[in-house]
Structures are given as structure tokens and as C-alpha cells.
Structure 1
């Protein structure tokens, strides 16, 4: 019997989604008569240590994954469970994404202090978010709103909403669903208002590329439909050379056309203030081709200049 050590960030949400994934793996082991046990090893990342500045100013790719990937490479852990939206496009040599489980709700959502939806917020309402992507799109939709940075884990941000005078905050719906806090959501934001982050709502289960036992186990956890949609979104991210903290949004879904499964991808690049925003879409059977088509369309319209502005 092999004991598999699972790396995770220390936040309540990270540990919760790690334990949920481990439970799914235990059920697979019971069904397939596989002899594995699992142990969680919490790891603090740079993104968890720096809480006094906005994420966009911290900069750098892999803000929430680098230390965990180092633990994978040196053998301290055997697999790691990340939020896919935290994953840079390029992985360190020797590491692979072994599974992408079934995706949770990918949308952003608004949590209003007085239960008010986006259309009902008063002029000049104070909105908290740590995401340039969310801030830019909300500013484009409602230029009158005051967007302010709010950092911390999901429970910390909910407490700040109640205690620090925000009218509303923006969060990923998936995290609230996984925590069992769906009742806190005032309104789900449609992709037409706020395109999600690349991979939002999906998890990435990362392991060493030469660990055949773990790879075989993770293949049983992988959801092929989620893998296809996330592949299109991440292809877009890679070609735009985007990190987690610049205003890029993407959302892919599957539809059936003439009996075949087709990937439909929407992509967005914006200036940080939301004044200049580009959106493109494409569809096709090959997710990588669809991601490339949307990326090239955005670049053809000047997306590289907007991304350079955001990085500065």
C-alpha cells in the first residue's frame, strides 16, 4: 500500500477542495480495488504571505503555486491540488497536470452587504475585489462604481464586507459553492458582464511526469469535457503570455453541432481601467485551435499593447 502525500495551500478553501478531491480519489480506489492512502501537507506560498498589497502589484507568475511545485520536484509531496486559475501556462520541467476534475460553476458572483444586485447598487457604491480582470469589467459595465482592493482568504473577505463598509464584493462562485456558502451569493455575473478567469471553477491536480502509479490513478479522476474547455482557455492564456493578475478573461463551453461536440470560446483583454476592452470568440472541434484563433484575433486588434499597459 502506498501513502500519497498531497500538497495544498493552507487556506480554508484550499484545504476544503483538497479534501473533496481526496474523497473522490478514495472512492475511485474503493471502486477499482486500488491500495492507496492519502495524507495532506499544507504549504505556504508567496501569495499567501503577502497580504498588504494588491495581487497585480506583487506580480510574477505562479504566485500561489511555486512553493508547492518545488515540494513536488524534490519529492516532499506526490501530487498537488491547485485552483486552475492560479496556474501559469508553462509548468516546470518534470511536472504535468495529471487530472482536471469536473468543473464547478465558472462564473464570478457579487455578494451585496444589503442583498442588492449589481443593477440596484447606488451610484458610487464601494466594491471590493483583488482582481484587475473583475475590476476592469465591472468598471466598464458601471463606471460610477468605486472599485477598491480587498485581499485575504474567502472567509476574510466576507468578514471585511461586513466590517469595512463595502457595499459589495466580487468572488468566484466556485469557492463559495465548495465551502457550502452558496446562500451568501446575491447575484451570479453572466459572462457578458464579467468573463471569468482562465480555468476558473476548475481544479488542476499536478504530479511528477514520471510517477506512473499516480498518473494512472489521476486518469480515472479526469473529466474529458472539462479538460477540453480548459485547454482552449489556457491556449489563449499561453499565446497572450498572460499571468494570473492581468485583465484577461476567457470562458469556453461545449455545444453539440450536427451531432459533433464543438468548443465555443469567448476571450477578453482589457486596460486596467476598463476603458479599452477587446472581446473575440471562435468555435471548433479542436480546443487548441479555437484558443489560438481567439488569441490571434485579439492580438490582431492590439491586445499586446493593452497587456503591456497592465504589466506596467
Structure 2
């Protein structure tokens, strides 16, 4: 192959992630020419409506997928949390990168932590999962929608529109903009369970055998195990961006894996939560079996009600 084309969104974070994958590939294939091709997605263009109301996270991948199917690009680099568990025909998840910091993060100029926020403080987030978990932790707070790229969201915080905002820690860390706010504090997964695949990069390709072989060097085994559990859990529940689901698998040691999971109503009024440790050899079936435990406790009915509330 003379040249490999990576389809990417135009945001600073998307470019960083694609450049990171390009650099990783060049370590293994120093003579391979790799080009980034930029695209705008529907999710980037519609900034005044919560994602849950306009189709979910697939809105950040569709245009890149079309480019690959049309032969304009060979692969796309995604934040794995934005990648639906089912793929369009002809496309597949070819590799997952090592995992960065999977935690959510608290950002504020005025307050040092979630606990220090005053009664009725305004927190910015549009994520239904984060809304649910924040309301469980602090029922008194006011939640306000927050869309746009990371830099835009921080600018809105600094303009005084919010007392604090919640972002994925990894995005802020990758762009090295932690110091743009007075307080940047990653939140323990014991307090807020992240989205499936958070802080993992997913490499999506067509079935081109040459491309599949090239990108196979990117696959991180630990991230693959954790992502398999998390995506299977969400897939079994048939949940996506439209419903509040948090799930984080963590390899404890060579024999065991911990899985934290939560589903519930966006206002935190009802939820089901589990924290288990299992044999790591069971990772391929673990997500499904844990999801079945949730289903037995009424999770599907709970999520159906949550989805109706989200679309109001």
C-alpha cells in the first residue's frame, strides 16, 4: 500500500487522536505515507439540541463511515464511547488502542470539587449518564445542557454560564488544557462510572485485508478485554446514547477483572447498580451475563422509561 488515508472529524481532540494513531503506525511502518482527511459530522454541526434527541452518538461517526465505504478513506479513529455496538454492513472495529484516563472530570474556576459546590449550583453536561450520576451524588444541583467541543465548553464555563462542568478527563489531558481552569479534578469511578469505552480509541475499517493487517499492530490486549465487557453489557441491554448507562471494566490482575455498572433514570430517582469481580477468562461472556442480572432486576423497563423522559 502506497498511502493510508485516515478519516477524522475536524475538532482539535479528533485531530489529536488521529495524529496519535498515525504516529503509532509510523513506528511500525516508517515508510508508509499516512494522510488525514477531515470531515464534518452531523454531531459536530448540531450544537443546540441534546444528542439523545437527534439520534445518539452515531452522529459523530456516520460521515466517516460513508467515506470509508466510498473508498475515500481506509480507516477512521473514534473515541470508542462514541461508537455504536453494531456496525453498518462492510465495516468493523479492527483494533482498540491502549486506554488513557477513563474517569470523568470536574472543572470549575470557583469550586475545588463536587462536594464543595453550594446548594443549587449549576453544572453543565448533556450526557444522560452524567446527569443521572450527578443527581444521585447531589440531588440539589441544577443541571444545564452543555454542547460543543472541549474548548467551547471550557469557554462557556469561564464566561460564567456554569458553576462547574463535567468532561471526560482524557480529552482535557490530551489537549494539555488542564490549567485553563482553576480546578481540574478527575472523579473516581467509585463515584461516577464512565461510559463504555471511555478513553479508548477505536479503529474502524472496512474488511480490506491489507488495512486490517496494518492496523492490527495498534490493538492493546488489556483495552480489548475491558472494551469487550463494556460493549457487550451495553449491547445486551440495547442501550446507547439515548439512555443513562455507565459501565467500567478494570483488569485487577492476570486472573481477575472488576466491573462497575449502573443504569437508571436521568434524574437519579431510580437506578440499578452492581460492582463485581470475576475471572478474567470469562471476559467474552461477562458483559452479557452481568447485563442479564440487570435485566432480571427490571433494567429494560427502567431504560424504556428513561428513554421516554429523555425525548420529552
* Range class of TM-score, shorter chain: over 0.9
- Counterpart CA distance in 1 for 2:267 and 2:215 is 41
- Counterpart CA distance in 2 for 1:269 and 1:53 is 23
- Contact 1:138/1:193 (8 A) holds in 2: no
Q: Give the TM-score normalised by the residue count of structure 2.
A: 0.94
Match of 1:187 among 180, 185, 188: 185
Residue 304 of structure 1: SS of its match in structure 2?
helix
> Are 1:131 and 2:159 matched, yes or no?
no
- Counterpart CA distance in 2 for 1:245 and 1:175 is 22
Residue 243 of structure 1: SS of its match in structure 2?
coil
- Counterpart CA distance in 2 for 1:193 and 1:231 is 23
Measured on the aligned residues, the alpha-carbon RMSD in Å equals: 1.4
Matches within 5 A, 1:275-294: 275-282=269-276, 283-284=278-279, 285-294=281-290
Match of 2:244 among 233, 243, 247: 247
- Contact 1:113/1:166 (8 A) holds in 2: no
- Counterpart CA distance in 2 for 1:21 and 1:180 is 18
Residue 40 of structure 1: SS of its match in structure 2?
strand
Deviations 1:16-48 (A, max 9, x none): 111111111111213xxxx42111111111111
- Counterpart CA distance in 2 for 1:59 and 1:13 is 22
Residue 199 of structure 1: SS of its match in structure 2?
coil
Could you tell me how far 1:112 is from its partner in structure 2? Answer: 1.0
Residue 197 of structure 1: SS of its match in structure 2?
coil
- Contact 2:5/2:73 (8 A) holds in 1: yes
Match of 1:273 among 264, 267, 270: 267
Could you tell me how far 1:127 is from its partner in structure 2? Answer: 0.3
Spell out structure 1 runs of 4+ moving beyond 6 A. none
- Contact 2:147/2:153 (8 A) holds in 1: yes
Could you tell me how far 1:130 is from its partner in structure 2? Answer: 1.6
- Contact 2:111/2:117 (8 A) holds in 1: no
Q: Give the TM-score normalised by the residue count of structure 1.
A: 0.94
Unaligned runs of 5+ in 1: none
- Counterpart CA distance in 2 for 1:152 and 1:247 is 20
What residue in structure 1 maps to residue 109 of structure 2? 113
- Counterpart CA distance in 2 for 1:163 and 1:255 is 41
Deviations 1:56-75 (A, max 9, x none): 22234512111111111111
Deviations 1:67-120 (A, max 9, x none): 111111111110000000001000111111111011110000000122421111
Match of 1:166 among 137, 162, 168: 162
**Number of equivalenced pairs:** 304
- Contact 1:133/1:247 (8 A) holds in 2: yes
Matches within 5 A, 1:17-32: 17-30=17-30
Structure 1 pair 195/187, CA: closer, same or farther in 2 (3 Å)?
Answer: same
- Counterpart CA distance in 2 for 1:130 and 1:58 is 13
Structure 1 pair 39/142, CA: closer, same or farther in 2 (3 Å)?
Answer: same
